[in-house]
Structure 1
Amino acid sequence: MGQYITQLCKYFKKEAHCKVQQQPTALTLSIKQRTIINYNSDGYDSDFEEEKVTIQKEPVTIKSWKKGVFLGQGSFGVVYQGFDLQTGRVFAVKQIEIFLVDKESLNSFYKEIQVLSLLKHPNIVEYYGCTNDGTHLSIFLEYAGGGSIAQILKKFGKLTESVIQKYTRDILQGLIYLHQKKIIHRDIKGANIIVDTRGVCKLADFGCSLIGQQSYSLKGTPNWMAPEVLNQQESGRYSDIWSLGCVVLEMLTALPPWGHFDNPLQALFSISSKKCPPPFPRNISDNLRGFLECCLQYEPKQRKKAKELLNHPFLQIKSPKKSLKSTRIEMSQLEELRAIPHQDESIPQAQREDQKSIFSDLSSLQIGDENQQFQ
């Protein structure tokens, strides 16, 4: 256990620092080599082509841009808001300074480019391109104005079950898409799930992800890691399901899973050695409790698949109420309103006559009449 904790501390203390980039040139993916591997882990029983990536320069899609406000710190790299000076588009840009990061961080950066270039889904952050100016590497990404789930929890506190239900459905849709493509995210947590202004969740930060094979390595964030990951046993898509359960707990409590421990080492010990999930809040629905139990089984193969979880009773949406829409009162409706007698005798007769007169005047207006002029 001690060596695992040492590796964790070494891995998660890395930081990257970025400066303003002036004249970026593009990095695009060129697939130079393909190897066929047989991937039978976690129910994948078909051959899958693992793509190895190299980088070459091409004209950049975002040619002229300005860096804006700081948005957050990823597992590697710093994220800023960006503004396209030619199109006016607002985007997010993740940057690392090449000479201030180690080889592992650079590999993670390239890995994220590789994975994002393969993906197109409404519940996954959209990839616009990447640049290299010789000093900085930058990834241009979709900007979601709502921030991450972690930021939302920090601002507004724990979420209601109805919001958790909606967010969880979105996350699962993204995971289903990833797992169908034989991609494992390996770092599902609130900070890596962004929310747009419509309330749509999108998976982000693919630097730890893995394509088409099982893993025995430590990747992710400790409190959200599945037991098999911390114990460096075989891990796969079921490890993402454990992390999803941890995100649901995070949304319920506005705290990290195992957040009741003062010492993070206690959390690591509990995850890796105790065959029990993080504690659940008491006042939750039976359906939500059942959903958490499906995600947080100690044995990976006992956890439900993402597609199965989407059909869980907790996520079945009831008939939605009609959304509030802007409406205009038609003249016929005004006539009906004018015909309704006033029952409130406390209103003076003169005032009631004035109200009738107003409705009469409104009903006589010809909306859209080109011959009508207002002085």
Structure 2
Amino acid sequence: TENCLGWKRGKVIGQGAFGKVRMTNGGQLIAVKQVELSINDREKAKKEYENLQREVEILKDMKHTNIVNFIGTCLEHNVVSIFMEFLTGGSIATVLKEFGPLEEEVYRRFTRQVLEGVNYLHHHSVVHRDINGNNVMLLPCGTIKLVDFGCARKIHERSNASSMRNSASGGARQYQSVKGTPFWMAPEVVTGKLYGPKSDIWSVACTVIEMATAHPPLYELGQYAAMFHIGEGRPMPVLSKHHTRHARSFVVQCLRFDPQARPTAGELLQHKFFKIR
């Protein structure tokens, strides 16, 4: 067919950090993430489709300033297309490659927005599971958007009435699979133990270090050595004294080895790091 959800097939206008950029029949630019399902392996295709369906089920319910907007989806032959708002600008990782480390005033502002998005996800029983500079988009106006929910999972709540209130603090069902990007992975993720919302908190701290230094923590070790270091519970890098004590304190609290000892996103939004003028 020539149209799928009203978008023009044909020339790709550009390639964004989160999919191909195409134009709708109404002239609107949108980002399209397309996945070609296997036509030779039915079981593999079924698993791929279920993973994409899970991503769509999460994205379609997320309505927040700091989370990418979902537009729709469609299946044509063996190709699944997921339509999202087109985000001009680039990822934080791209910005760091171009301009180097960010000033504290700047990464503080970005961190607050990341936390606002994460807090919203956790209160809606969703764990992102892959927060890092590549999945944090920066719009020209300075707004931050969390993208790529391919690893995200909905936390299945316990049946008691208090479980919904506990999800943001890690009181809901947790996961055991290894998902994420190595340098940003929490210890419980690396070791395959049960993990939940507090694993996102660890990843937020690693992203703060990434913004402050232009590199994720332990990048000099390589991925496998870094995962071993993290899984063993060895001391993590901290921000230098070039940064304020509140910034250093923020990172240290998020990188506590015990997930239960880490603050929630909501608690971190009240941290003195964000009170600095």
Which TM-score band applies after superposition, normalised by the shorter structure?
Answer: 0.7 to 0.9
Alignment of 1:52-91 (within 5 A): 60=5, 62-66=6-10, 67-72=12-17, 79-84=19-24, 86-91=25-30
Whole-Å separation in 1 of the counterparts to 2:150 and 2:183: 18
Matched ranges for 1:274-313 at <5 A: 274-313=233-272
Q: Is the 8 A contact 2:187 2:257 kept in 1?
A: yes
The aligned amino acid for 2:37 is: I
1:255 to 206, 215, 219: 215
How does the TM-score come out when normalised to structure 1? 0.65
Return the offset for 1:279.
4.1
- Partners of 2:257 and 2:154 in 1: CA distance: 24
Q: Secondary structure at the match of 1:307?
A: helix
The aligned counterpart of 1:228 is 188
State the percentage of identical aligned residues: 36
Does the 8 A contact of 1:223 with 1:267 survive in 2?
yes
Per the alignment, residue 179 of structure 1 pairs with 122
1:210 and 2:153 matched: yes
Q: Give CA-to-partner distance per residue, 1:156-192, whole Å, 9 cap, x none.
A: 1111101101101101110111111111111111111
- Runs (5+) with no aligned partner, structure 1: 1-21, 26-59, 319-375
* Unaligned residue ranges in structure 2 (runs of 5+): 156-172
1:299-337 per-residue CA deviation (whole Å, 9 max, x = no partner) reads 10110110110111111253xxxxxxxxxxxxxxxxxxx
> 1:106 aligns to what?
49
Q: Partners of 1:127 and 1:207 in 2: how far apart?
A: 13
Higher RCO (CA < 8 A, seq sep 6+): 2
SS at match of 1:260: helix
Pair 1:95-2:34 in alignment:
yes
Structure 2 length normalisation: TM-score?
0.86
The one of 23, 32, 36 aligned to 2:2: 23
- Counterparts of 1:190 and 1:105 in 2: how far apart (Å)? 25
Q: For 1:224 and 1:88, how far apart are their aligned partners in 2?
A: 38
Q: Is the 8 A contact 2:31 2:83 kept in 1?
A: yes
1:46 aligned residue: none
Q: 2:230 matched to 1:268? A: no
Is contact 2:7-2:22 (8 Å) kept?
Answer: no
Query: CA 1:93–1:285 in structure 2 vs 1: closer, same or farther (change >3 Å)?
Result: same
* Greater C-alpha radius of gyration: 1
Alignment length (residue pairs): 255
Deviation track 1:66-101 (CA, whole Å, cap 9, x = no partner) reads 5222224x6xxxx111211x2211121111112279
TM-aligned CA deviation for residue 193 of structure 1: 1.0
Structure 1 contact 68–82 (Cα < 8 Å) conserved: yes
- Corresponding residue number in structure 2 for 1:193: 136
Q: Distance in 2 between matches of 1:134 and 1:316?
A: 53
Q: Retained in 2: the 8 A contact 1:229–1:235?
A: yes
Answer yes or no: is the 8 Å Cα contact 1:24–1:133 preserved in 2: no
| CA distance in structure 1 between the aligned counterparts of 2:26 and 2:104, rounded to whole angstroms | 39
1:145 aligns with 2:88: yes
Q: How many angstroms does 1:65 deviate by?
A: 4.8
Q: 1:88 to 1:315 in 2, by over 3 A?
A: same
1:358-373 equivalences in 2 (<5 Å): none
Equivalent residue of 1:169, what SS?
helix
Kept in 2: contact 1:146–1:152 (CA 8 A): no
**3-state secondary structure, aligned to 1:304:** coil
Give distance in 2, aligned partners of 1:220 and 1:168: 19
Q: Is the 8 A contact 2:102 2:211 kept in 1?
A: yes
SS of the aligned residue for 2:13 comes to strand
Contact 1:23 1:133 in 2 (8 A): no
Deviations 1:229-265 (A, max 9, x none): 111111010000000000001101111221121x322
Separation of aligned partners in 2, 1:177 and 1:270: 31
